[in-house]
Amino acid sequence: GLSRRAFLGAGAALGALGAIAPSRLGQARAPAPFLPTDRLTLAAGPLDMRLLGPDGPATPCYAYDGEPFRLIRLPRGARLEATYANGLHEGSSLHFHGIRMPNEFDGVPPLTQPLVEPGGRFVHQLPLDDPGTFFFHPHCDETGQAGRGLVGVLIVEDPRDPRFDAEHVLCLKDWRLAEDGSFLPLTEADGASKAGTYGATRTCNGQPRLALDAPAGGDVRLRILNVDSTRVMDIGVEGGEAWLIAVDGHALKPVKLDDLPDGIWRMGPAQRIDLHVRMPASGAPVTLGDYRASDVYAFATLTARGRTKPRKGPLALPPATLPAPELKKAEALSFTLQQATDAAVQELGLPPDDPLAKALVASFCVGAATYWSIGQVSWSAGTRLGLPPPLARMEVGKSYRITIKNETRFPHPIHLHGHAFAVLGSSKGRLPLHFADTVLVQPGEAVDIAFVAAPGDWVFHCHILEHMETGMMGWFRVV
Ligand code: C2O
Ligand code: CU
């Protein structure tokens, strides 16, 4: 776990993050009737995209409503009734990632609903109380469906936000393509059991590189989403001042990108950030890139067009209003991320050089497609119809503090459904206090999160889609 010192002042700082007073939470009230302010149908279906260039071959992708990275914008406070229509030739479901909502609309078969069969529908009723940058995707055969592009963006706008001179939404996703435009296998054992199976065709909004513009001296809001299945990215900005103003949609006290370790924000699949970039008054361009790869992937360039008088300092978003966990009273839990083999061997209490331990390791590696575990439990796609017992049983309205320890050699972006949790800190000291729905836990690292439990059955999993499908997934029952 983390040292006590790392948490000194975390309680006070949570206050500074602007969470609402704990006393207002956890009071049982009859749910208000759901009165939709907005209704829409999201239809999943095939879409051909030319990802290898305008004159290149077409790739048989999937999309919502025939629109790559289908974008929905609604105001904070909206009550969205979204009907999912499955136009694929396989079962599917729709999950709104990061939205706090009644459990029955979470879209996780078989836990919260049955699979939506081809031609079937499912109606989701979503209260959009938290402003921010969210997204949605299927919650079954994730590598196959999200891997083919079935991902959309939900932006909940806050009328109180400062006025930016420009705003852009950037979806980062790589594709596993053969030269003829067809898909290469979206998962391979060697990837699934390690860092994941990477796509080599890198895109931003489906293009190799995005050309955007903004006034010289102007303030730009960039909503950047890592919607890739696999890749962890180090997002950096060159040529202009930049501040991190929200993580997973939730405002934080602006952090200058240059003040973060290596001047980047490390972002795993499913994580989002809002950046405030100030264009140089000189009219020079600004470049955005992933600096993790040995050769930097520059995914967008902002070119000056027109000019405006530069302002000073960052434009902070209004503080997030989220349930604030009570750290003093919180129940502490701890879950370790492991290779499934290690967990199984540990469970048997065998020394790793025991012949039975070795046989177990071998059997896991030969096609069993279970490579990972959380808290010594593996729940892989092949076994999803049989539910493992919950990782924890929790009480509605009670605060929980969870230490997530990564004992594997790979980073894991860990996501909890239906909540925004406070990220209290990391044993490596690299994370500012912030709210999130997904947190990247590096090899050998322990990260502490805390939240107020909401009623329902909520999955807790790695968002490297192959890891989730091969065991790194569990769930909490909150009653
Ligand atoms: Cu975005 Cu369970 O996932
Ligand atoms: Cu993982």
Q: For the complex shown, is ipTM > 0.95?
A: yes
Amino acid 370: pLDDT: 86
Amino acid 304: pLDDT: 97
Q: Which ligand 1 atom sits closest to the C-alpha of 438?
A: 1
Look at residue 266 and tell me whether its pLDDT is greater than 90: yes
Above pLDDT 90, what percent of the chain? 82
Q: Where are the domains of the chain?
A: 4-20+322-478, 38-157, 166-307
For atom 1 of ligand 1, the residue with the nearest CA is: 97
Provide CB contacts within 8 A for 338, sequence distance 6+.
346, 372, 373, 376, 407, 408
Amino acid 29: pLDDT: 60
- Ligand located closest to 271 CA: 1
Q: Are 84 and 93 in contact (CB under 8 A)?
A: yes
Amino acid 25: pLDDT: 47
Look at residue 393 and tell me whether its pLDDT is greater than 70: yes
The per-residue pLDDT of the chain, averaged, comes to 91
Look at residue 50 and tell me whether its pLDDT is greater than 70: yes
- What tens digit of pLDDT does each residue of 408-421 get? 999 999 999 999 99
Amino acid 359: pLDDT: 58
Q: How confident is the model at residue 242 (pLDDT cuts 50, 70, 90)?
A: very high
- What tens digit of pLDDT does each residue of 300-341 get? 999 999 999 999 999 999 999 999 999 999 999 999 999 987
Rg (CA), the chain: 22
Q: How confident is the model at residue 368 (pLDDT cuts 50, 70, 90)?
A: very low
- The answer as to CATH 3.40.50.620 being correct for domain 38-157 is no
Mean pLDDT of 142-156: 97
DSSP three-state, residue 22: helix
Burial class (CB in 10 A: 0-12, 13-18, 19+), 312: exposed
Comparing CA positions, the residue from 219, 116, 211, 215 lying closest to residue 162 is 219
Look at residue 102 and tell me whether its pLDDT is greater than 50: yes
Domain 4-20+322-478, second-level architecture: Sandwich (2.60)
Correct CATH for 166-307 of 3.60.20.30, 3.90.1150.10, 3.40.1360.10, 2.60.40.420: 2.60.40.420
- Ligand located closest to 372 CA: 2
Q: How confident is the model at residue 388 (pLDDT cuts 50, 70, 90)?
A: confident
Distances (CA, A) of 33 to 78, 159, 203: 14, 25, 42
Q: Which ligand 1 atom sits closest to the C-alpha of 270?
A: 1
Look at residue 81 and tell me whether its pLDDT is greater than 60: yes
Amino acid 148: pLDDT: 98
Amino acid 113: pLDDT: 95
How far apart are the CA of 288 and the centre of ligand 1, in A? Answer: 26
Within 6 A (CB) of ligand 1 lie 95, 97, 137, 139, 270, 415, 417, 459, 461, 463
* Angle, vertex CA 112, rays to CA 110 and CA 117, nearest 5: 55
How far apart are the CA of 172 and the centre of ligand 1, in A? Answer: 16
Look at residue 360 and tell me whether its pLDDT is greater than 60: no
- In the structure, ligand 2 is a single-atom ion and the residues with CB under 5 Å from it are 412, 462, 464, 467
Amino acid 352: pLDDT: 59
Q: Do 38-157 and 4-20+322-478 fall under one CATH topology?
A: yes
12-21, 72-81, 273-282, 395-404: range with lowest mean pLDDT: 12-21
**Positive or negative: CA dihedral 115, 118, 121, 127:** positive
For atom 3 of ligand 1, the residue with the nearest CA is: 97
Q: How confident is the model at residue 386 (pLDDT cuts 50, 70, 90)?
A: low
Q: Which ligand 1 atom sits closest to the C-alpha of 468?
A: 2
Tokens found for residue 159: 């009328």
Amino acid 325: pLDDT: 97
Q: How confident is the model at residue 364 (pLDDT cuts 50, 70, 90)?
A: very low
